[in-house]
Amino acid sequence: MRIRLSRSIVPNLFTVLNIYFGFLSIIAASHEQFVPALWYIVLSAVCDSLDGLMARLTNSASDFGVELDSLADVVGFGVAPSFLIYSLVLHQWGTLGILVAAAPLVMGALRLARFNVQLVGFSKDHFIGMPIPLSALTLVSFVLFFSPGEIQASEQLQYALMLLTASCGLLMISTFRYPVVPKISLKSFKSHPLPLTLMLVAALAVAISRGKLGFPVLMLLNISGPIFAAGRKIRKAGHPHRTDDAEENDHDSDEDSDAEGEEAKRATIDPSL
């Protein structure tokens, strides 16, 4: 028997680690080890970002990798955070707690399925709906910011966590546009100096605070979708002469961009985003 190894094993290994760390998070949460559980989800996010990078570096992207990545994200960013939130406090809220805790899993799965079948309407400068890793990291950053013990002792924080969990679920299946974060490179710095500078400053602040500042930073990203949508409506209201035909032309230009790069999309875009 002969086993053939291909270059795709490198990115797929990181995808499998995404699943593995999600599983470790579930085990830790089941033993009420909530801080390790949330850091395992963070490690899943690291692996999720690295699998796409490795696929590009090794030129080994494939449809198999795309589908595997989606399955991994359901575990790492759907099941794991849902179980973490449920085990932390929502198990005390009966059926309501179950329904709210299931939002990251159910809505996240719908978000990934929509992406995988969305062959048109994709623009290179934004995603439709909040990415599932952003949802998961927002929830775990909330727990890290306030601490598990404080959340369990405060009914107000429990209400806030329930509202945040439900909101993340709805934002994932929304049609709000979320900007694509430019890749870190010299070329990207020249073309997108402000976004990359802000991103690096935010990452440095989160690292210095040992993750504590992750929650306010991620909340800014969460509300960016609705804010940008409101901004577009305001601009549209300020230009009443703008016709529906002009809007359709903008949409057509997006679809033209999609048609010429659909295969490239599946090779370079992480379906979790």
Q: Bigger pLDDT: 127 or 140? A: 140
pLDDT reading at 178 higher than 70: yes
Cβ distance 172 to 73 under 8 Å? no
Q: Please provide the size of the chain in residues.
A: 273
Residue 76's contacts (CB-CB under 8 Å, 6 or more residues apart) are 18, 19, 21, 22, 25, 41, 44, 45, 47, 48, 136
Q: Is the pLDDT of residue 97 over 70?
A: yes
Among 215, 81, 82, 85, residue whose Cα is nearest residue 152? 85
Q: What is the pLDDT of residue 121?
A: 43
**What are the tens digits of pLDDT across the range 73-96?**
999 999 999 999 999 999 999 999
In the chain, what are the domains? 9-268 (1.20.120.1760)
Instruction: Decide if pLDDT at 263 tops 50.
Output: no
Confidence of residue 230 (pLDDT cuts 50, 70, 90): confident
How many CB atoms sit inside 10 A of residue 244's CB? 7
pLDDT for 247 beyond 70: no
